[in-house]
Amino acid sequence: LQFYKRIEEREPEVNGFLTLCRDEALERARSIDQKRKKGEKLGRLAGVPVAIKDNISTDGMKTTCASRMLEDYIPPYDATVIKKLWDEDAIIIGKTNMDEFAMGSSNENSAFKVTSNPWDTKRVPGGSSGGSAAVVAAEMSVMSLGSDTGGSIRQPAAFCGVVGLKPTYGLVSRFGLIAFASSLDQIGPITRTVKDSAISLEVLQGHDPMDSTSYKGEASSYLESLEKGVKGLRMAVPKEFFHTKGLDPEIADSIRASIERYERLGAIVEEVSLPLMEESLAAYYLISSAEASSNLARFDGVRYGYRTKEYEKIEELMEKSRSEAFGKEVKRRIMMGTYALSSGYYDAYYNKAQKLRKIISLQYQEIFKDYDLIISPTTPILPFLKGEKTNDPLEMYLGDIYTININLAELPALSMPCGFSKEGLPIGLQLIGNHYSEATLLRAAHQLE
Ligand code: GLN
Spatial separation of the C-alpha atoms in residues 231 and 83, rounded to whole Å: 38
Locate the ligand 1 atom nearest the alpha carbon of residue 103 and give its number: 4
Distance 403 CA to ligand 1 centre (A): 9
State yes or no: ipTM above 0.95: yes
Distance 281 CA to ligand 1 centre (A): 11
Q: Which pLDDT belongs to residue 1?
A: 66
Locate the ligand 1 atom nearest the alpha carbon of residue 396 and give its number: 1
- How far is C-alpha 348 from the chain's CA centre? 30
Distance 288 CA to ligand 1 centre (A): 9
- How many Å is the Cα radius of gyration of the chain? 21
pLDDT digits (tens, 9 = 90+) for 108-146: 999 999 999 999 999 999 999 999 999 999 999 999 999
Q: Which bin fits 119, alpha (ψ -120 to 50), beta or left (φ > 0)?
A: alpha
Catalytic residue among 53, 166, 195, 389: 53
Locate the ligand 1 atom nearest the alpha carbon of residue 180 and give its number: 9
CB atoms within 10 A of CB 105: 29
The residue contributing the CA closest to ligand 1 atom 4 is 104
Pocket test for ligand 1, best of 100, 152, 390 (most atoms within 8 A of CB): 152
CA angle 307, 310, 316 (to 5 degrees): 75
Spatial separation of the C-alpha atoms in residues 179 and 294, rounded to whole Å: 10
| Among 222, 213, 157, 155, residue whose Cα is nearest residue 186 | 213
Catalytic residue among 105, 110, 128, 132: 128
CA angle 362, 367, 370 (to 5 degrees): 135
Whether residue 152 lies in the annotated active site: yes
The residue contributing the CA closest to ligand 1 atom 5 is 150
Pocket test for ligand 1, best of 105, 124, 159 (most atoms within 8 A of CB): 105
Whether residue 128 lies in the annotated active site: yes
Locate the ligand 1 atom nearest the alpha carbon of residue 147 and give its number: 9
Cβ contact 63:73 at 8 Å: yes
Distance 404 CA to ligand 1 centre (A): 8
Distance 101 CA to ligand 1 centre (A): 9
Torsion of CA 378, 379, 381, 384, to 10 degrees: -100
Distance 44 CA to ligand 1 centre (A): 31
Distance 418 CA to ligand 1 centre (A): 23
Cβ contact 425:137 at 8 Å: no
For the chain of 449 residues, list the mean pLDDT of each consecutive stretch of 10.
Answer: 90 98 95 96 97 98 98 97 98 98 97 98 98 98 98 98 98 98 98 98 97 92 95 96 90 97 98 90 96 97 93 96 98 96 91 96 97 97 95 89 97 98 98 98 97
Non-local (6+) Cβ contacts of 429 within 8 A are 254, 255, 258, 375, 376, 377, 378, 415, 416, 417, 418, 448
Strand bridging mode 413-420 / 426-433: antiparallel
Give Cα separations from 185 to 59, 103, 291, 355 (angstroms). 21, 12, 11, 19
Catalytic residue among 105, 129, 132, 152: 152
What's the full length of the chain, in residues?
449
Q: Which pLDDT belongs to residue 229?
A: 96
Cβ contact 250:427 at 8 Å: yes
Backbone angles phi, psi at 242, to 5 degrees: -90, -5
Pocket test for ligand 1, best of 65, 96, 99, 165 (most atoms within 8 A of CB): 99
Locate the ligand 1 atom nearest the alpha carbon of residue 407 and give its number: 8
Cβ contact 429:415 at 8 Å: yes
DSSP per position, 212-274: TTS--SPPPPSSTTTTS--TT-EEEEEGGGGS-TT--HHHHHHHHHHHHHHHHTT-EEEEE--
CA torsion through residues 146, 148, 154, 159, sign: negative
| Among 178, 104, 189, residue whose Cα is nearest residue 145 | 189
CA angle 433, 439, 445 (to 5 degrees): 70
Q: Which pLDDT belongs to residue 245?
A: 83
Q: Which domains does the chain have, with CATH numbers?
A: 1-449 (3.90.1300.10)
Locate the ligand 1 atom nearest the alpha carbon of residue 181 and give its number: 9
Residues lining ligand 1, CB < 6 A?
Answer: 102-105, 128, 148-152, 180, 288, 400
